[in-house]
Amino acid sequence: MLTSRTFLKRTRAGAVMKVVREHYLREDIACGAAACEPCGQQPGEPRLEAQPSGAASSLCPAPHYLLPDTNVLLHQIDILEDPVITNVIVLQTVLQEVRKRSAPVYKRIRDVIANPEKHFYSFTNEHHRETYIEQEQGETSNDRNDKAIRVAAKWYDEHLKKINNEETIQVILLTNDRKNKEKAVEEGLTAYTCEEYIKSLIANPDLVDRLACVSDEGKEIESGRIIFSEHLPLSKLQQGIKSGIYFQGTFRANRDNYLEATVWVHGDAEENKEIIIQGLKNLNRAVHEDLVAVELLAKDQWVAPSSVVLQDEGQNEDDDENEEEKENTLKSSVNKNMLRPSGRVVGIIKRNWRPFCGMLSKSQIKEARRHLFTPADRRIPRIRIETRQASTLEGQRIIVAIDGWPRNSRYPNGHFVKNLGTAGDKETETEVLLLEHDVPHQPFSQAVLSFLPKMPWSITEEDMKFREDLRYLCVCSVDPPGCTDIDDALHCRELENGNLEVGVHIADVSHFIRPGNALDQESAKRGTTVYLCEKRIDMVPELLSSNLCSLRSNVDRFAFSCIWEMNHNAEILKTRFTKSVINSKASLTYAEAQMRIDSASMKDDITTSLRGLNKLAKILKKRRIDNGALTLSSPEVRFHIDSETHDPIDLQTKELKETNSMVEEFMLLANISVAKKIHEEFSEYALLRKHPAPPPSNYDILVKAAKSKNLEIKTDSAKALADTLDKAESPEFPYLNTLLRILATRCMMQAVYFCSGMDNDFHHYGLASPIYTHFTSPIRRYADIIVHRLLAVAISADSTYPELTDKHKLADLCKNLNYRHKMAQYAQRASVAFHTQLFFKNKGVVNEEAYILFVRKNAIVVLIPKYGLEGTVFFEEKDKPKPNLNYNDEVPSLTVGNTTFYTFDKVKVNIMLDASNIQHQKIRMALVEPKILGSDVPNQTTELSTNSEPEKKKKKLKK
C-alpha cells in the first residue's frame, strides 16, 4: 500500500517547487514476539521472549512487554540499560525523535537493541499498515507522535491476544506525559509513569535511585525563593546573537574558583574573544563545556580574573549566606589595567552534560534520602541526588547524571547511575581517571578483532612483489625500557661515493588496518594510545601493537621507509620513500645505545651505525636551533614500582641521554620530509600539524619573572626567544635557565592537526619549520595512519578512497584527534598525580628544596626539582588568624608579614599527603624556610597514615 504527501517548497532562487513524498506501508512487518507464529521471525533476529522473564512488578504481576514513549527513552536511558529491564518494544516513531534530539542517547539505545540478552525489539510502526497514522490538520507533530505511540500500543495489545499462550502477554505503555497517560487509559491501555513502574519492582528497590528527576515543579525543598534569573528561549537567544546583543560561546568553568568562569566566544572577532563571568547569579546554572549565550555587562561592572583560590566546600547544600562575602573577596584590590570584558549568562544554547564520576557527601540528617554528590572534576558543580543506599555508597566512587537545574535550587538535580568501587583503590581510581578524561578503554569488540590477520602470520611471496627487501640493512631500534610497541627503527651506512645513507623505517600499520572497516573505525575513534603509569590503553589490538606491527629484533616486519642520501654535513641530497620489509638487528634502550656509542672497544655494525646517526643528529639539532627552534623544558617523572604491591617505591625526574635527542632528530626530519611530499601531491587534502605562535600577552609572566632577576627575554620571534633563553643564565643560580624554559613552555599554544585545504598558516612555531606532520608513530597515533595512506597513494604503493580526499571529513577527523590527544595528555598527568600521592602516602612527611614558579594573591606555586613535582603553598588557613598579605601584580610579588616572595626564589617546603578529603587527596605543601611568624609546619618525623583524617572518616575506613 502506498500513501503520499504533497507540499510546496520555495528554492533559494525564489522559485516554488512541488514536492511529492511517497510512503510505503506493508503488512509483513513482524511484531518481534518469539511466540508469535503468524509473524514468522527471521532466525538470529533480536526478539521479545515468549514468556517475559523480567523483574516482578506489584502493579502488573502478569507477563508483560514494555513500550516507552520518546521522553522516557531520552531521560531514563540509565534505567533502560539496567540488566533488570528486558523485553522492551522500541517504536520507530520514538527512535526517530530520539535521533533528532540526542545523538549520545540514540547510540546507547541502538547498542541496547543490539544486545541479544536484553530482548529489545525495534518495531517499524511508521511503515506498518495498521499502525501508521496521518497528521491531522491543526495537530502538532508532538501530539501526532503521541497518538502514533498509543495506536501502536493498542495494536500490540490486540495482536498478542491471538497468540496461544497460557497467559496473555500485556503491553505496558511507559509515559511521563500526564495528558498522554490519561488518553491511553481512556483508550483502554495499561499505562504507568516510569517512576510508578520502577517503584513497583518488588526485588529491585535500588533501581529507584537511577530514575532521572525530570519534573522539578513542587519538588523543591526551598521555600520557593528564586536564586537565578530565567533562561531566555532559544528563539530570543538566536535573534540576540544575530543582532549582536548577545555573544555565543563555550562556557569554561574555573578549576580553582567555583564562582568564576570564562566564555570563549565563537567567531573571528578579535575584541571580546574571552568574557569573564563572576558570581553565582551571573553564572546562571551554566555547567562546564555548555554552549551559552552571554550578555556583556556595562564597563563599570567589568571585573578582573581572580587570583584567589575558592573551593565550594560548604556542607549544607543551601549554605549560601557567605556566598556574597566570597564574591566580594574576588573584587577586592583590583588593578584597573587588569579589568577584562565581563558578562552574565542569559541562556543555554546546548547542554553538554555527561555522566560524572565522584563521591557522595552524605546528608547530616538521619534517614535523609537527599544527598549532595561532589564530582571529581572541580569545574562541575555539586549535584543533589535522591538515594536509599547512602550508607553503602559512602566512601565509594560513583557515577551520577544531571537531570535539570531549577531556578530556585543552589545545585542541579541528578540521579545515581553506577557504583565504580572503593575510593583510593588503584583499579577504581584508574577507571575514574579514564572515564573523566573520556578515554575509550573497553576491550576491543569481536567485530573489531575479526579484521585482524589470522595466526600464524608470515610474509608471502605475493607481499614481496610490492615491497623493497631491506632485510640486509643493519637496522636497529632505540626506545625506553620495557617498550613493546616499537614504531620506528633506524640505519646509517656509508655509500661507495663517500656519502651517507640514512633510513627511518616506520611500522606499516596501514597495511593491516584497511579504510572503513570496524578496526579502522575503532582506531579513528580512539585516536591515540594512552600511557598511564602502570597501564597502556592501546589504540589498536595487542596482536598488532606488540607483535605484528612492532619492529622487534630478529623478525621480518613490514615497514614504510624514508631513506635519505646525505653528505657528512647532514645536508640532504636525495630523499625517497618505499614500502619495505626489514629485519631489525637489535632492540636497544636509550641507555644501551648510549653505552655502545661511548664504548671504546665496540666496533660492530650496529655501533658504527649508531655513531654515524649520533654525529649527524648533533649537526641537524644545531642547524634547527640556529633557525630558531625552541628547546623548552618540562619536568618528566619516572616511578619505580614494587613488583609485588605495584605501589611506587621511588620517584625521580627522567634523565635524558644523547640518544633520546638522536632518535628525536631523525623522527623530526622524517616528519618534515613526508609533510613536504604529501603536500606536494595533495595540496588540499594533506593532514598536517601546526604549532601557532602564542599571542604576545602569553609571555607577560615569563618576561616579568626574568625581569625580576635582571634578565631580558625577547619574544618578538621564536629565534629571539630561543637566543635570549640561551643567554639567560646566572652563574650563582644554575637552575634558573631550566626554570625559565619550564615557564616558557607554559606560555605556548597547543600544537594541532589540521587539513591543508582548510587553513593557510602551516608554520610550526616550536620547531621553526614551515611545514610538519606526524608519520613516525602509527601504532599509537591515528593521524600517522592517515599520513601513511596519503604517502602510499603519492608513491603509487596503494589506492586512494573517497574519504581520503574529502577535506571536510578530514577536518572533522582532525577535530576528534586534537580532542583525543588533549584528553590523553590530561589522563597521563592525572595518573602521575595519583601515583605521586601513593608514593608520599608510603613515604611520610619530607622536607625538600623548591623554586617559586608563580606568585598568587594568597599563595605561591612551587616546583620541586628532585621529584618534578608542582604544588601550592597557601598562606591563609581555615580557623587560623589571617596573615597580612600584600600582592603586587606588576613585579609579581607577594609579601606575607615581613617576608616578600618573588618568582624563582628558592624556598624549602614540607611535603605530605593530605587524605582528609578522600576524593581529592592532595599533596599538601607548607613553608619551612624562610620561616614566617605565626605559621607552624608539621614535624618531619610525623607518621603519615590516616592521622590527617577526621576521626569519623577513620572509623569508616577500618570497616
DSSP letters along 301-348, please? G-B------B----SSTT--TTHHHHHHHHHSS--GGG-B-BEEEEEE
Burial class (CB in 10 A: 0-12, 13-18, 19+), 674: buried
Cα(169)–Cα(64) distance, rounded to whole angstroms? 5
Going from N- to C-terminal start, the domains of the chain cover 2-210, 234-311+336-350, 355-423, 446-691+752-825, 696-747, 844-929
Residue 87: pLDDT above 60? yes
Contact between residue 894 and residue 901 where contact means Cβ atoms under 8 Å apart: yes
Which amino acid, one-letter code, is at 443? P
pLDDT band at 223 (very low <50, low <70, confident <90, very high): very low
pLDDT value for 719: 81
Contact between residue 923 and residue 912 where contact means Cβ atoms under 8 Å apart: yes
User: Measured at the alpha carbon of residue 332, what is the angle toward residues 328 and 336, in degrees to the nearest 5?
Assistant: 130
Neighbours of 186 (CB within 10 A): 10
Local structure of residue 410 (DSSP, 8 states): S
pLDDT value for 631: 76
pLDDT band at 753 (very low <50, low <70, confident <90, very high): very high
Q: Hey, is 816 helix, strand or coil?
A: helix
Residue 940: pLDDT above 50? no
| Residue 293: φ, ψ to 5° | -110, 135
Mean pLDDT of all residues in 760-774: 89
Contact between residue 86 and residue 54 where contact means Cβ atoms under 8 Å apart: yes
pLDDT band at 221 (very low <50, low <70, confident <90, very high): very low
Cα(575)–Cα(147) distance, rounded to whole angstroms? 69
Cα(411)–Cα(382) distance, rounded to whole angstroms? 6
Q: Hey, is 49 helix, strand or coil?
A: coil
pLDDT value for 218: 39
pLDDT value for 488: 93
pLDDT value for 102: 83
Residue 543: pLDDT above 80? yes
pLDDT band at 205 (very low <50, low <70, confident <90, very high): confident
The CATH number, out of the four listed (3.40.50.300, 1.10.1660.10, 2.40.50.700, 3.30.565.10), of the domain defined by the range 355-423: 2.40.50.700
Q: Hey, is 24 helix, strand or coil?
A: strand
Query: Taken in order 946, 952, 957, 959, is the CA torsion positive or negative?
Result: positive
Please, which contacts does 110-114 make with residues 24 or more away whose CB atoms are closer than 8 Å? 112/80, 112/81, 113/46, 114/46
Local structure of residue 258 (DSSP, 8 states): T
Interacting residues of 410 by C-beta distance below 8 A, sequence separation 6+: 227, 317, 318, 320
| Residue 535: φ, ψ to 5° | -155, 150
pLDDT value for 44: 57
Identify which of 420, 417, 432 has the alpha carbon closest to the alpha carbon of residue 213. Answer: 417
Cα(306)–Cα(333) distance, rounded to whole angstroms? 10
Mean pLDDT of all residues in 727-756: 82
Q: Hey, is 862 helix, strand or coil?
A: strand
pLDDT band at 634 (very low <50, low <70, confident <90, very high): low
Neighbours of 618 (CB within 10 A): 15
Mean pLDDT of all residues in 694-698: 82
pLDDT band at 951 (very low <50, low <70, confident <90, very high): very low
pLDDT band at 935 (very low <50, low <70, confident <90, very high): low
Residue 328: pLDDT above 70? no
pLDDT value for 220: 43
Cα(295)–Cα(300) distance, rounded to whole angstroms? 15
Q: Which CATH architecture has domain 844-929?
A: Beta Barrel (2.40)
Cα(378)–Cα(261) distance, rounded to whole angstroms? 12
Residue 229 Cα distances to 41, 107, 308, angstroms: 55, 34, 26
* Residue-averaged pLDDT of the chain: 83
C-alpha cell at 231: 533562561
Alpha carbon 718 to its chain centroid, in Å, reads: 30
Max mean pLDDT range (364-373, 555-564, 738-747, 858-867) = 555-564
Burial class (CB in 10 A: 0-12, 13-18, 19+), 108: middle
Residue 21: pLDDT above 80? no
pLDDT band at 216 (very low <50, low <70, confident <90, very high): very low
What residue has cell string 592525572?
830
Identify which of 790, 843, 835 has the alpha carbon closest to the alpha carbon of residue 683. Answer: 790
> Which of 86-90, 95-99, 218-222, 768-772 is least confident?
218-222
pLDDT band at 679 (very low <50, low <70, confident <90, very high): very high
Mean pLDDT of all residues in 35-42: 71
The residue count for the chain: 959
Residue 422: pLDDT above 90? no
Q: Which is more confident, 106 or 369? A: 106
pLDDT band at 714 (very low <50, low <70, confident <90, very high): confident
Q: Which is more confident, 797 or 657? A: 797
C-alpha cell at 795: 608513491
Mean pLDDT of all residues in 28-38: 81
pLDDT value for 158: 87
User: Measured at the alpha carbon of residue 864, what is the angle toward residues 907 and 639, in degrees to the nearest 5?
Assistant: 160
Mean pLDDT of all residues in 204-212: 81
Max mean pLDDT range (196-200, 734-738, 873-877) = 196-200
Cα(679)–Cα(687) distance, rounded to whole angstroms? 8
Identify which of 373, 380, 553, 547 has the alpha carbon closest to the alpha carbon of residue 476. Answer: 553
Q: Hey, is 760 helix, strand or coil?
A: coil
Identical fold, 234-311+336-350 and 355-423: yes
CATH topology of domain 234-311+336-350: OB fold (Dihydrolipoamide Acetyltransferase, E2P) (2.40.50)
Interacting residues of 810 by C-beta distance below 8 A, sequence separation 6+: 685, 687, 755, 757, 758, 786, 803, 804
pLDDT tens across 635-678, in order?
Answer: 555 655 555 555 565 555 656 677 888 999 999 999 999 999 99
Residue 521 pairs with which residues in a beta bridge? none
Residue 623: pLDDT above 60? yes
pLDDT value for 25: 81
| Residue 739: φ, ψ to 5° | -60, -40
Strands 488-494 and 572-583: unpaired
C-alpha cell at 184: 491511553
Which amino acid, one-letter code, is at 33? A
Q: Which is more confident, 220 or 505? A: 505
Q: What is the 3-state secondary structure (H, E, C) of 521-580?
A: HHHHHHCECEECCCCEECCCCHHHHHHHCCCCECCEEEEEEEEEEECCCCCEEEEEEEEE
pLDDT value for 5: 63
Max mean pLDDT range (40-49, 388-397, 461-470) = 461-470
pLDDT value for 13: 76
Mean pLDDT of all residues in 723-749: 79
Cis bond leading into 456, ω under 30°? yes
pLDDT value for 945: 30
pLDDT tens across 446-458, in order?
Answer: 889 999 999 888 8
Mean pLDDT of all residues in 129-156: 89
Strands 170-174 and 190-192: parallel
What residue has cell string 611520610?
844
Local structure of residue 246 (DSSP, 8 states): E
pLDDT tens across 228-250, in order?
Answer: 889 998 889 989 988 889 999 99
Mean pLDDT of all residues in 323-352: 72
Residue 954: pLDDT above 50? no
Cα(152)–Cα(5) distance, rounded to whole angstroms? 22
CATH topology of domain 2-210: Rossmann fold (3.40.50)
C-alpha cell at 108: 546507547
Cα(445)–Cα(111) distance, rounded to whole angstroms? 12
pLDDT band at 603 (very low <50, low <70, confident <90, very high): confident
Residue 958: pLDDT above 50? no
pLDDT tens across 820-868, in order?
Answer: 999 998 898 888 888 888 887 777 788 888 888 888 888 888 888 877 7
